[in-house]
DNA sequence: TTGTAGGCGTTATCAT
DNA sequence: ATGATAACGCCTACAA
């Protein structure tokens, strides 16, 4: 395997200086059209590609945005996708660092900082608020999908999302609407608040039960529901997975969904849409989330913003109506 | 925000040369224990961290392994996790490049190559065999979870996995075992072959039906099954998602699983285990897959292997027995 | 054990 | 418009 071509190689074959080649490759001013053409052709011929490491070493700005995310999480994946387009539009590159069992968040962040990323986007971080603030004091940080005081955050309006869901169910004529709470999960408090507000506004009873994040939690909740005297008209679960658990147990027990009980979730995970499950749910606007996160990061990087005050950007979620919710019979 | 400390800064505060600091930071030989102690302390104090870009520029080897993966895919996430530990043990760093709707495989690979990764690990790549070979001729490449001629590949032994599954069902006393085929998906041909072999060996009828990759496909297949005169004893689906679709339709139709029909899948996706679904399935050994991929890559990088011949490493999958399969009643 | 010099591939500054 | 030259932060001889 032969050495990769460098600026020097291009310069020699094109019969000009390295400086000129550099100018051409960067599309900077200061080269004649003729030279430009020639250099580009030579570069193409010998397959020259600038070395990003050398570029970043020499430039004062690495033009890198570090991103931590939970590998395997659909929602995170969607945000990452949008992050790619948002940053590219601004001339930045993304450096990914996955959070996995053997590669925890602290390590992921460390890598990113060492890599001289100019700013960080943390998707659904789990670390403590204290460490988050600590980090943010050393490097621009924007947190996605988690509310945090003192650090820039971009998240969905979970209150509004829950209201959206309840209003949908109310509109279908349901009266006894049970909400399955998400406990201490990010957004859980807001969703519960939204449920309470909407249900109260509609003059309906507040029926809050313990839910959770997983199918297992949903299944348990459904079992409790079945043990009660009367089945509710509808169940609104903290998230899709929980909703799936509910549906499964109900159906196994001979309760037809949505005929007897309407079920809806939150998140619009691919499972909800791709399958015959056809779960009505609330979708978070990943594109808006990513765009807002990058926009805020850029403000920090440009230094056009006071270091002290953190912002809390809120994006509107949307109702996705599918087959698991129908009018009350 | 002040400038990040450099080697020079450490050297000054420690009262020695940069070279010495470099030696200490790299844990190389040639520094007294006293100096070592002093330098490390100073480095810690001023928060010095070596600049990887500068290191890679100076070193002849970037010590980088590029990895492409489908963001949001659990299986890929598991492999990535194992890749982190496998590479770290060998002193290499991982550079992630996600394959998403707006960031396709070609782009992901290009980034990795530009970043001067020494070798690439492609998890479940979708690009054509031709482009794969082309790439592999320019840079060491190992493909994970896809069979490819001419390029190093590491994958599960799908034939053995299918045999494992069938033998399990046979052992439970099932006679009429339907297999739901995966069509042209990676591994589908092998799994079908394994099914045929095992079923024939047990003197049972080959019952192959059209399945697919999604819950939808499984649901369709289940509907066909229900339309037939007689229900099979067990259904072995191409993958977990397909199996889930089968289970769902059967249960909705009043057929109890596993009492009337045992169902099993393939992949051991988190869905299978995390939930009350409790699907018996075949698990791919992600750790072994990752380890083997890295090991092979290292052979290439060390140049201890002929460029011409590609290897096809096969890892043994394992049976994971859960609740969706029980003895024939 | 320690220090000095040179260069990795690129870009920025200054001449020409 | 073009070219020489000096960094960027680090590592690797080699010399002391």
Q: Give the number of other CB atoms < 10 A from CB of residue B308.
A: 6
Given this model, what pLDDT does residue B308 score?
Answer: 65
Whether residue B277 sits in one domain with residue B294: no
H or E stretch covering B110 = helix B105-114
Chain A contact set for B74 (CB, 8 A): 72
Q: Alpha-carbon distance A217 to A200, whole Å?
A: 26
Strand C and A22 CB separated by under 7 Å: yes
Distance A55 CA to C13 C1' (A): 17
Please check whether residue B200 lies inside any domain of the structure: yes
Q: Is B53 on the interface with A (CB under 8 A)?
A: yes
- Quick: pLDDT tens for B226-258: 999 999 999 999 999 899 889 988 987 889 999
- Is the same domain home to A176 and A251? yes
A215/B249 touch (CB, cutoff 8 Å), yes or no: no
**Of all protein residues, which has its CA closest to the C1' atom of D2?**
A20
Nearest chain A residue (CA) to B257: A252
Q: How far apart are CA A110 and CA A102, in angstroms?
A: 14
**Does any domain span residue A321?**
no
Q: Where does residue A33 rank: exposed (0-12), middle (13-18), buried (19+ CB within 10 A)? A: exposed
| Domain match, A265 and A169 both | yes
Do A234 and A191 fall into the same domain?
Answer: yes
Within a domain: B121: yes
Taking contacts as CB-CB distances below 8 angstroms, the residues of chain B near A81 are 71, 98, 100-103
CB atoms within 10 A of CB B120: 26
- B328 assigned to some structural domain: no
A positions 87-106 inside 8 Å of B (CB): 93, 96-98, 100-103
Q: Is residue A55 included in any domain, yes or no? A: no
Residues A262 and A245 in one domain: yes
Q: Tell me, yes or no, if A4 comes closer than 8 A to chain B by beta carbon.
A: yes
Same domain? B116 vs B148? yes
State whether the beta carbon of A46 lies below 7 angstroms from any atom of strand C: no
Whether A54 and B52 lie within 8 Å, measured CB to CB = no
Average of per-residue pLDDT across B107-131: 95
Lowest mean pLDDT among B269-273, B298-302, B325-329: B269-273
Partners of A215 on chain B (C-beta within 8 Å) are 271, 274-277
Record the tokens describing residue A278, joined without a space: 């056809």
Q: Residue A50, CB, less than 7 Å from strand C?
A: yes
Q: Report if CB A18 to strand C is under 7 Å.
A: yes
Once rounded to an integer, what is the mean pLDDT over residues B193-216? 96
Cβ contact (<8 Å) for B57 and A52?
A: no
Question: How many angstroms is C1' of D6 away from CA of B52?
Answer: 22
Q: Which of A48, A16, A51 is nearest to A32 (CA)?
A: A16
Q: How far apart are CA A118 and CA A112, in angstroms?
A: 9
Instruction: Establish whether the CB of A37 is closer than 7 Å to any nucleic acid atom in strand C.
Output: no
The rounded mean pLDDT for chain B is 93
When pLDDT is cut at 50, 70 and 90, the band that residue B1 belongs to is: very low
Q: Mean pLDDT, to the nearest integer, of B4-15?
A: 92
Residue A15 domain boundaries: 7-50
* Residue A42 CA distance to nucleotide C9 C1' (Å): 18
CATH number of the domain encompassing residue B18: 1.10.260.40
Say yes or no: B93 and B138 in one domain. Answer: yes
Distance CA B269, CA B284 (A): 9
Examine the domain organization and report whether A253 and A183 are in the same domain: yes
Distance from CA of B304 to the nearest CA of A (A): 13
DSSP per-residue string spanning B227-292: HSSS--SEEEESSHHHHHHHHHHHHHTT--TTTT-EEE-SB--HHHHHSTT--BEEE--HHHHHHH
Q: Which of residues 235-264 of A touch B (CB under 8 A)?
A: 244-245, 248-249, 251-252
* Residue at B1 is within a domain: no
Same domain, A220 and A261: yes
Residue B304 within a domain: yes
Both B169 and B271 in a single domain? yes
Q: Over its length of 329 residues, how does chain A's per-residue pLDDT go in tens digits?
A: 468 899 999 999 999 999 999 999 999 998 999 999 999 999 999 999 999 999 999 998 899 999 999 998 888 999 999 999 999 999 999 999 999 999 999 999 999 999 999 999 999 999 999 999 999 999 999 999 988 889 999 999 999 999 999 999 999 999 999 999 999 888 899 999 999 999 999 999 999 999 998 888 999 999 999 999 999 999 999 999 899 989 988 988 889 999 999 999 999 987 787 556 789 999 999 999 999 999 999 999 987 776 668 999 999 999 999 999 999 98
**Strands A234-237, A207-210: parallel, antiparallel or unpaired by DSSP?**
unpaired
- pLDDT of B307: 64
Query: Does residue B324 sit within a domain?
Result: no
Is residue B314 predicted with pLDDT exceeding 90? Answer: yes
How many whole angstroms separate alpha carbon A21 and alpha carbon A24? Answer: 5
Chain B partners within 8 Å of A53 (Cβ): 53-54, 56-57, 62, 115-116
pLDDT, tens digit (0-9, with 9 covering 90-100), for B134-180: 999 999 999 999 888 899 999 999 999 999 999 999 999 999 999 99
Before B258, cis peptide (omega within 30)?
yes
**Spatial CA neighbour of A50 closest among A9, A17, A96:** A9
Verify that A258 and A196 share a domain, yes or no.
yes
Judge whether residue A51 contacts strand C, using its CB and a 7 Å cut-off: yes
Looking at the fold, whether A304 and A256 belong to one and the same domain comes out as no
Q: Is B74 on the interface with A (CB under 8 A)?
A: yes
B28 touches strand C (CB under 7 A): no
CATH number at residue A191: 3.40.50.2300
Residues of B in contact with A78 (CB under 8 A): 72
B101 to A80: CB separation less than 8 angstroms, yes or no: no
What's the domain count of chain B?
3
Alpha carbons A214 and A115: distance in angstroms, whole number? 35
pTM of the model: 0.89
- What would the pLDDT profile of B39-85 be if each residue is shown by its tens digit? 999 999 999 999 999 999 999 889 999 999 999 888 899 999 999 99
Q: Could you give the CA distance from residue B62 to residue B46 in angstroms, rounded to a whole number?
A: 26
Which chain A residues touch B71 with a CB distance below 8 Å? Answer: 69, 71, 76-77, 80-81
Q: Three-class SS of residue B155?
A: strand
């Amino acid at each position: 395997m032969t050495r990769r071509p460098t600026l020097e190689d291009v310069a020699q074959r094109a019969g000009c200086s390295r400086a000129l080649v550099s100018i051409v490759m960067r599309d900077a001013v200061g080269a004649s059209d003729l030279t430009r053409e020639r250099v580009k052709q030579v570069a193409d011929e010998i397959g020259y590609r600038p070395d990003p490491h050398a570029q970043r070493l020499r430039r004062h700005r690495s033009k890198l945005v570090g991103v931590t995310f939970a590998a395997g999480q659909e929602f995170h994946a969607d945000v990452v996708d949008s992050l790619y387009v948002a940053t590219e539009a601004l001339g930045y590159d993304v450096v990914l660092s996955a959070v996995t069992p053997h590669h925890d968040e602290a390590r992921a962040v460390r890598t990113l900082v060492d890599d001289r990323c100019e700013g960080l986007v943390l998707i659904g971080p789990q670390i403590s608020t204290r460490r988050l603030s600590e980090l943010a004091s050393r490097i621009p940080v924007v947190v996605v999908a988690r509310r945090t005081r003192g650090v820039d955050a971009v998240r969905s309006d979970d209150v509004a999302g829950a209201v959206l869901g309840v209003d949908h169910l109310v509109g279908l004529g349901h009266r006894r609407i049970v909400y399955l709470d998400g406990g201490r999960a990010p957004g859980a408090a807001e969703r519960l608040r939204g449920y309470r507000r909407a249900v109260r506004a509609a003059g309906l009873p507040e029926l809050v039960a313990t839910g959770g994040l997983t199918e297992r939690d949903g299944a348990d909740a459904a079992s409790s529901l079945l043990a009660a005297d009367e089945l509710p008209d509808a169940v609104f679960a903290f998230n899709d997975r929980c909703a799936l658990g509910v549906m499964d147990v109900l159906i196994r027990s001979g309760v037809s969904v949505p005929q007897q009980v309407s079920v809806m979730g939150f998140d619009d995970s691919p499972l909800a849409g791709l399958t015959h499950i056809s779960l009505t749910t609330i979708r978070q606007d990943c594109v808006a989330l990513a765009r807002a996160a990058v926009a805020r990061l850029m403000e920090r990087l440009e230094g056009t913003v006071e270091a002290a005050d953190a912002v809390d950007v809120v994006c509107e979620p949307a109702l996705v109506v599918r087959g698991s919710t129908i009018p009350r019979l």
